[in-house]
Structure 1
């Protein structure tokens, strides 16, 4: 059976519209009642960060385990990882399109842009921290300590001084899925690196599985999640705040803000008021993003239908939360801004 002329024209027009405006198909197509049920208020102070008339938008799906979002304000795009497929992905805010930025990237995980706009990535296999230079070349910043290979760098922040701090818990070395299975030769640690160093410097080894990392609003404090229960069932998941000393080359006064034996905390980011927005796992009703006040009080959640591994603020006003959640990426406008 063939289509009649009118049916054919209607189908062609619909296909043409979809092709011309792919971004329109990227977000939600199912309407939601305002306020969106994604918001969960636990403490009334969370209400000031909510927007009544904004929906949770699923921008894209099709990943295996998505991680490591980083926002490029000049290009209006975010980089994120599909770790098992060893892909760097790119979400374009202006069009809503998602595309492959780079393939075969060593199962890269966390990303950041440094003070000069260069992309820095933590790779699992080979285990290293790399930087993409302006001419497109690749520089290896760190791949060993004391002559031994790093475990599997996980997440990274860039300092105004030009240095970087990264976590090295070793998840990419545990199974042949997010890297290459091998025995860890180093303690799990948090490291500092800057141009001119032959190898990174250990900042702390006190965390069992140092994972997500974020700077506070003024850059003087550092937040690190510890996903200890994955390999140390007798230890809780925690979020610890450190003071940065010596331009980020040392840490002091560790303060455990959050701990839980029921919930997992992964990647995190900080808003301008010092609240923490943390990728969370724990089952239905918990999966998504947990929001903690400066003193570590849980004030609210952004509930998702998937585990959320990491988050960052995006957009011209840095008020749009981008969440890498298992197989999908989601966005949600908020009434705050990223630090």
Structure 2
């Protein structure tokens, strides 16, 4: 064997040995090393939360190019969620199948809360002009509410759809406090919760007990309305709270207020319920508290989902309604749970 052949074979053996020690191509292309399960976003505070916690699922951030994101609503037929980027006056669309985010509509009056009615029409709370509108099947826009007793609404915020397609909405006025989220002006009405449907020329006021009525949700049986109060934003002496009201007269009347949760340390904005009656509330409370707090039906906190950003709102999505979608400041996140949303 000549020296050149011996050198070639020796070099080849060395390369083969090095290749055997090197990571495979798929490992090199797999991206950054994932965090270990369980995801640190989960925080189990009470054994009652354990049935809803999943060990082997990650917190996923899908998009982070918003300014202030709000109002997610799930469309089961299209497998997408609509949410609002309030300062940009945009409705956005997150597609579950592809994971992509795109602009659905521009110039939507600094839209906040969104909901689909039982006919698949999108109903939206807008800050400026202050109104509740519905997008019809032909793409036209019907104004459901814009005034109460001759005065303009403050800035409708969140809403729920009743079985008769009547709409209950909150009107705290945040879109009237700064131009960034609407049009700055003095409020002409006391913040309140209203009911409206197609038979009414103007909404009916259901309650003005909350200082800043904000997020709304219905119980699984449709008998109760839950409403958050973000009072500390303008009244620091008052607690943030979530209250429950019994519904009557097909949603046109509320019973006595029952406060379920209150706090001087954190604020509850958007809310959702699961089929077991647990309350999932978006939280602004500083590092370690920002995210979602989960409360048992009696109001005891049983768990948290910790996010790196303030969470403004949330909804359950997916075919099983077991995936929690969260609009959090500039980003949207999802997390699979073992709960099933209403």
User: Would you say same fold, with TM above 0.5?
Assistant: yes
Which residue in the other structure is 1:143 paired with?
146
Structure 1 residues 244 and 305: CA distance shift in structure 2, 3 A: same
Map of 2:243 onto structure 1: 240
Which of 208, 225, 228 is the aligned partner of 1:225?
Answer: 228
SS at the partner of 2:315?
Answer: strand
- For residues 233 and 319 of structure 1, the distance between their equivalents in structure 2, rounded to whole angstroms, comes to 35
Q: Does 1:310 align with 2:313?
A: yes
- Consecutive unaligned residues of structure 2, counting only runs of 5 or more, are 1-29
Distance 1:311 1:29, change over 3 A: farther
Runs of 4+ in 1 over 3 A off after TM superposition: none
Partner Cα separation in structure 1 for residue 33 and residue 315 of structure 2: 25
1:286 paired to 2:254:
no
What SS does structure 2 have at the residue aligned with 1:330?
Answer: strand
2:157 to 143, 154, 163: 154
Counterpart among 330, 335, 338 of residue 332 in structure 1? 335
Where does the alignment leave 5 or more consecutive residues of structure 1 unmatched? Answer: 1-24
Q: CA separation in 1, counterparts of 2:311 and 2:169?
A: 20
**Number of aligned residues:** 313
What is the 5 A alignment of 1:60-75?
60-75=63-78
Q: 2: distance between equivalents of 1:188 and 1:247?
A: 23
User: What's the counterpart of residue 36 of structure 1?
Assistant: 39
Give how far 1:162 is off.
1.6
Compute the displacement of 1:253 (Å): 2.6
1:195 equivalenced with 2:198 (yes/no): yes
In the alignment, structure 1 residue 252 sits paired with structure 2 residue 245: no
- Aligned equivalents of 1:179, 1:46: Cα separation in 2: 39
Residue 109 of structure 2, aligned match among 86, 106, 109: 106
Offset, 1:115: 1.4
Greater mean alpha carbon deviation, residues 243-252 or residues 30-39: 30-39
1:266 correspondence with 2:241: no
Q: Is 1:174 aligned with 2:177?
A: yes
What's 1:78 paired with?
A: 81
Alignment of 1:16-55 (within 5 A): 31-55=34-58
Other structure's SS at 1:165 match: strand
- In structure 2, the CA distance between the partners of 1:108 and 1:30, relative to structure 1 (3 Å rule), is farther
Aligned to 1:115: 118
Indicate the SS of the match to 1:247.
helix
Describe the superposition over 1:68-111 as per-residue Cα deviations: whole angstroms up to 9, x where unpaired: 00000000000000000000000000000100000000000001
For 1:29 and 1:198, the matched residues in 2 are separated by 57
The equivalent residue for 2:16 is none
Name the SS for the 1:48 alignment partner: helix
CA distance in 1, matches of 2:36, 2:336: 15
TM-superposition CA deviations, 1:208-245 (whole Å, max 9, x none): 00000000111110100000000111100010001000
The structural deviation recorded for 1:29 is 5.9
User: In the alignment, which of 134, 140, 154 is matched to residue 137 of structure 2?
Assistant: 134
Q: What residue in structure 1 maps to residue 22 of structure 2?
A: none
